[in-house]
Amino acid sequence: MQTDYELYSRPETWVAWSVNWSAVWVGALASLVAAMILGLLGTAAGATSLEKFSSFTTISRIDVAMVICAAFFSFVIGGWVAAKITGARHAERTILHAAIAWLVATPLLVVMLVAGAGNAFGGWYGGLVASPIGAAVAQPATPDVVRNTALAALTSLLVGLVGSVIGGWIGSGEPMTFTHHHKRNAYLASQKGNI
């Protein structure tokens, strides 16, 4: 039996988690492709608007539902892909890879919007860039339009982060409960004969 002094006076050790960058890049690209496909589907179906909007009261509920679902499920797909390519069996590592894939996909999304691909993603990501490179300078937007478009872009990005984490968790194959790791650790300790 260890005393408290022995238990707490050990030097701190660091264990780094390795990152599978191939899984991260493929997950990020899968997220972007899924976001583009879902954005184009929403635009083709008339469910999403390409214009920046001045008020949240002017958007239809179908537009909101389509964009939120597209942002969520596109990053669920990317997180799941990153988790599966990683090959990790524990949710912590797969969620880490999915979140890093979201971090990689976000600047790539901004680059695509600056290059002029904003119409493919729908109008909600319009708050990330003022106008594409080489486009004619538009009239300055009112403060309400700037605020609402920025809030819409922020909402889409944060919903995408949640989707990425859930996709990574699903990709691990572990049950989606918050107490599973306690049971897993107890089981592993009992197998080693520590209990």
Helix, strand, coil tally for the chain in percent (to 5): 70, 0, 30
Location of structure tokens 């960058």: 21
Q: How far apart are CA 77 and CA 98, in angstroms?
A: 10
Question: Cα 14 to the chain's mean position, in Å?
Answer: 27
- Please provide the distance, in angstroms rounded to a whole number, between the alpha carbons at the two ends of the chain: 13
Q: How far apart are CA 139 and CA 144, in angstroms?
A: 14
Q: How far apart are CA 195 and CA 193, in angstroms?
A: 6
Per-block mean pLDDT, blocks of 10 residues, the chain (195 long): 57 74 96 89 72 65 82 95 92 93 93 76 66 66 75 87 95 81 69 63
Evaluate whether 25 touches 104 at the Cβ level (below 8 Å): yes
Q: Give pLDDT, residue 165.
A: 95
What's the pTM value of the predicted model, to 2 decimals? 0.78
Encoded tokens for 93: 């590592």
